Amino acid sequence: MIDTGDTAWMLVSTALVLLMTVGLGLFYAGLVRSKNTLNTFMMCIAAIAVATVTWALVGYSLAFSEGSWFIGGLDYALLNGVMFDPIDNPFFVDADGAQTIPHLVFFAFQATFCIITVALVSGAVVERMRFGAFLLFAALWSVLVYSVLAHWGFGGGWLVAGGTLDFAGGIAVEMASGFSALAAALVVGARKDYGRQAILPHNAVYVLLGAGLLWFGWFGFNGGSGFGINNLGVLAFANTLLTPACTLLMWFLLDHLRGRRITAIGAATAIIVGCVGITPAGGFISPIWAMVLGFGVAIPCWAVVAFRPRTRVDETLDVLAAHGIAGFTGILFIGFFAQAEWNGLADGLVFGNPEQLLDQVLAVATVPVYAFVVTYLLLRLIGFLMPLRASSQEEGQGMDVIYHGEEAYATGEGAILVRPDTPIEEVLAGTKR
Amino acid sequence: MKLVIGIVRPEQANDVLESLYNSDVNGFSVSRVQGHGGELDRVETYRGTTVKMGLSEKVRFEIAVSDAFVDPAIEALCEGARTGEVGDGKIFVVPLERVVRIRTGETDDSAVTPVGA
């Protein structure tokens, strides 16, 4: 039965989650050097383009139609049968209370999750990966990694069917992107200046505004993952406010202890870490435990952010720390502090159900390995077909001019207008490429 | 005394700084400039508007040195700024009539010698 109130909220949530990808683009763009602003932003925009299409063609079906323990089937390929009635996959129909929103709305909501996950991975390879190679990678990754892990975590695959709790994507979104980012950084390699020169964020205001937009959108991401107006969704909504606020305070403290200063870019990172931490646990833990999670999740993520620059691994925008490690922590936290009194489903270890912890450990033991290995092999394969990265001269000039023929901060000084009727050969004569 | 002016690619500026420090040249000014020097134009398109960018971003180093440091400064600029492609930039060396250090009133060679050197 379709419920109009549930459907209305899910339409809004879908739009909120789509805005997150644009917010992520702004966040990432502020963190890179000005010559790479547009390319970095465009990787997120490209994720919207590529992942939406692959999701409609096969990705959604492989994640959410009836299939095996490992991957879904092709029942919904090309959106076959995805219409106005609720989803008819027996896994969802038989679950406690079938869905009350049109299948099309469920598809669109889940599409925005696939999009942002692809966009997240780009943070590992910005400032040097070729744009064309990234487009191909994004298309294949959205199916080979995202769809498979979405099936495991949401769509009836072995983890969700076995009792692992993941409210809004600690498995398919956060751990998948974080550990894939590590693999991508290893295959693509470090930027030429990495570890040799200081490479600084070019606009900290973008970073804060981007983080703010992400947080705003996250109310749809977590608040919509109850698929309607219900206790789980409302609990997740409130927890999405509480957890990141606590993470911010803890991050302030850690920043202050290390450098005697509380940093703005640290704060932006803390917002993301808090939102990621509560993503898997949102509807399953009480508000007070969500606050504890907020303080706790800051510690391992802050430590990885601090440690990573000491290595040669140029995982440029710390996707592993902010998403992989925070998602990992959130998934495990459920195993300890899930509370049936709040979620109506299961208790964790602390409330007398040690088996839940075992189910959560299964996820953190397998998902990072799958994401890392498949991403590693996929990029090696693409690397055989085409170069993955720009030449070092191109890297010096910046990706914006090389791949997009635009500058983020063009002044127009010295720009000579080319009349629209000039033949293209004449325009290109005596110019670069 | 000479004023050594080096105009280099922005992406090489950090390398130039490093090689200047290595040559013990540590007094200079840096500014962002735009210029044109025989390199090929870039074509950029913003929706329907296509333009040739005739000016490139450059970084200009101005280094006032005593005669003994002219060659080290030039060598450091070349070492840091050279990529081998057209557009690496130029170095101009011009005579300096007078230099004054504002704080102490020292003039000429002692004014271009770093404090404590």
**pTM here?**
0.93
Interface-testing mutation among B8, B36, B39, B44, with chain A (most A C-beta atoms within 10 A): B44
Question: Does position B85 have pLDDT exceeding 90, yes or no?
Answer: no
Predicted local confidence at residue A72, as pLDDT: 96
Predicted local confidence at residue B55, as pLDDT: 86
Q: What is the DSSP string of A13-61?
A: HHHHHHHHHHHHHHHHHHHS-GGGHHHHHHHHHHHHHHHHHHIIIIIHH
Contact criterion met (CB < 8 Å) for B9 and A396: yes
Distance, in Å, from the CA atom of B116 to the CA atom of A87, rounded to the nearest integer, reads: 78
Tokens read off for A294: 């907020």
> CA nearest B17 in A: which residue?
A197
Distance from A313 to chain B by nearest Cα, in Å? 22
Tokens read off for A386: 């085409």
Q: A315 with A181: CB under 8 angstroms? A: yes
Question: Does position A175 have pLDDT exceeding 80, yes or no?
Answer: yes
Tokens read off for B116: 């404590």
A75-79, A229-233, A282-286, A419-423: range with lowest mean pLDDT: A419-423
**Please, how many CA atoms are within 13 Å of residue A19, restricted to the half-sphere of its CB?**
19
Q: A407 contacts in B (CB within 8 Å)? A: 44
Q: A432 contacts in B (CB within 8 Å)? A: 40-43
Contact criterion met (CB < 8 Å) for B43 and A416: no
Mean pLDDT to the nearest integer, B82-103:
92
Contact criterion met (CB < 8 Å) for A418 and B85: no
Tokens read off for A98: 């079938």
Distance from B70 to chain A by nearest Cα, in Å? 26
Q: A44 with A28: CB under 8 angstroms? A: yes
Q: What is the CATH number of the domain that holds A337?
A: 1.10.3430.10
Residue B78 lies in a domain: yes
Mean pLDDT of chain A: 95
Residue B106's region, left for phi above 0, alpha for psi from -120 to 50, else beta, is beta
Q: A85 with A105: CB under 8 angstroms? A: no
Residue B30 lies in a domain: yes
Predicted local confidence at residue A97, as pLDDT: 66
Mean pLDDT to the nearest integer, A158-167:
96
DSSP letter at A389 equals B
Domain count, chain A: 1
Distance, in Å, from the CA atom of B88 to the CA atom of B80, rounded to the nearest integer, reads: 10
CA distances from A347 to A278, A281, A283, A353 (A): 17, 12, 12, 6
Contact criterion met (CB < 8 Å) for A405 and B83: no
CB nearest to B83's CB, from A197, A393, A398: A393
Distance, in Å, from the CA atom of A43 to the CA atom of A37, rounded to the nearest integer, reads: 10
Rg (CA), chain A: 22
Q: Quick one: three-class SS letters along A279-290?
A: HHHCCCCCHHHH
User: CB neighbours (10 Å) of residue A384?
Assistant: 6
Q: What is the pLDDT of residues A81-100, one digit of tens each?
A: 999 999 999 888 876 668 99
Q: What is the pLDDT of residues A262-307, one digit of tens each?
A: 999 999 999 999 999 999 999 999 999 999 999 999 999 999 999 9
Question: Does position A374 have pLDDT exceeding 80, yes or no?
Answer: yes
Residue A413 lies in a domain: no
Distance, in Å, from the CA atom of A284 to the CA atom of A250, rounded to the nearest integer, reads: 22
A17-31, A167-181, B11-25: range with lowest mean pLDDT: B11-25
Residue A170 lies in a domain: yes
Distance from A239 to chain B by nearest Cα, in Å? 43
Question: Does position A380 have pLDDT exceeding 80, yes or no?
Answer: yes
If pLDDT is split at 50, 70 and 90, which confidence band does A322 have? very high
User: CB neighbours (10 Å) of residue A346?
Assistant: 18
DSSP-derived pairing of the beta strands B56-65 and B49-53: unpaired
Residue A15 lies in a domain: yes
Q: What is the CATH number of the domain that holds B72?
A: 3.30.70.120
Residue B103 lies in a domain: yes
Distance from A430 to chain B by nearest Cα, in Å? 6
Tokens read off for A25: 């683009």
> CA nearest B51 in A: which residue?
A417
ipTM: 0.81
Question: Does position B109 have pLDDT exceeding 90, yes or no?
Answer: no
Neighbour-count burial of A307, counting CB atoms closer than 10 A to its CB (0-12 exposed, 13-18 middle, 19+ buried): exposed
User: CB neighbours (10 Å) of residue A137?
Assistant: 28
Residues 6+ apart with CB under 8 A from A331: A164, A166, A170, A171, A175, A280, A281, A360, A363, A364
Tokens read off for A11: 């339409």
Contact criterion met (CB < 8 Å) for B46 and A430: no
| Nearest-10 Cα torsion for A191, A194, A198, A203 | 40
Residue A184 lies in a domain: yes
Residue B117 lies in a domain: no
- Percent over 90 (pLDDT), chain B: 59
CB nearest to B40's CB, from A197, A427, A430: A430
Contact criterion met (CB < 8 Å) for B43 and A405: yes
Predicted local confidence at residue B48, as pLDDT: 83
Residue A201 lies in a domain: yes
- Find, among B78, B66, B37, B68, the residue nearest to B54 by Cα: B37
- Three-state SS at A239: helix
Query: Helix axis angle, A231-259 relative to A264-281, nearest 10°?
Result: 150
Q: A431 contacts in B (CB within 8 Å)? A: 40-43, 52
Neighbour-count burial of A409, counting CB atoms closer than 10 A to its CB (0-12 exposed, 13-18 middle, 19+ buried): exposed
If pLDDT is split at 50, 70 and 90, which confidence band does A167 have? very high
Question: Does position A415 have pLDDT exceeding 90, yes or no?
Answer: no
Mean pLDDT to the nearest integer, A5-11:
97
Predicted local confidence at residue A432, as pLDDT: 55
Predicted local confidence at residue A416, as pLDDT: 84
Domain count, chain B: 1
| Nearest-10 Cα torsion for A32, A37, A41, A43 | -80
Distance, in Å, from the CA atom of B54 to the CA atom of B63, rounded to the nearest integer, reads: 27
Residue B100 lies in a domain: yes
Q: What is the pLDDT of residues A126-158, one digit of tens each?
A: 999 999 999 999 999 999 999 999 999 999 999
Q: A11 with A104: CB under 8 angstroms? A: no
If pLDDT is split at 50, 70 and 90, which confidence band does A70 have? very high
Mean pLDDT to the nearest integer, A45-67:
97
Element (H, E) at B42: strand B42-46
Which domain does B102 fall in, by range?
2-112
Interface-testing mutation among A413, A416, A425, with chain B (most B C-beta atoms within 10 A): A416
Residue A67 lies in a domain: yes
Q: How far apart are the first and last CA of chain A?
A: 59
Residue B98 lies in a domain: yes
Q: B4 with B63: CB under 8 angstroms? A: yes
Q: What is the pLDDT of residues B41-58, one digit of tens each?
A: 788 889 888 888 888 889
Q: What angle do CA B69, B82, A402 make, to 5 degrees?
A: 145
Residue B37 lies in a domain: yes
- Percent over 90 (pLDDT), chain A: 90
Tokens read off for A280: 């898997």
Residue B81 lies in a domain: yes
Predicted local confidence at residue A250, as pLDDT: 98
Contact criterion met (CB < 8 Å) for B44 and A406: yes
Predicted local confidence at residue A96, as pLDDT: 62
Which residues does A contribute to its contact with B (CB < 8 Å)?
Answer: 35, 193, 197-198, 393, 396-398, 401, 405-407, 410, 413-418, 420, 427-428, 430-432
Which domain does A91 fall in, by range?
4-385
- Find, among A233, A25, A217, the residue nearest to A120 by Cα: A25
DSSP letter at B41 equals B
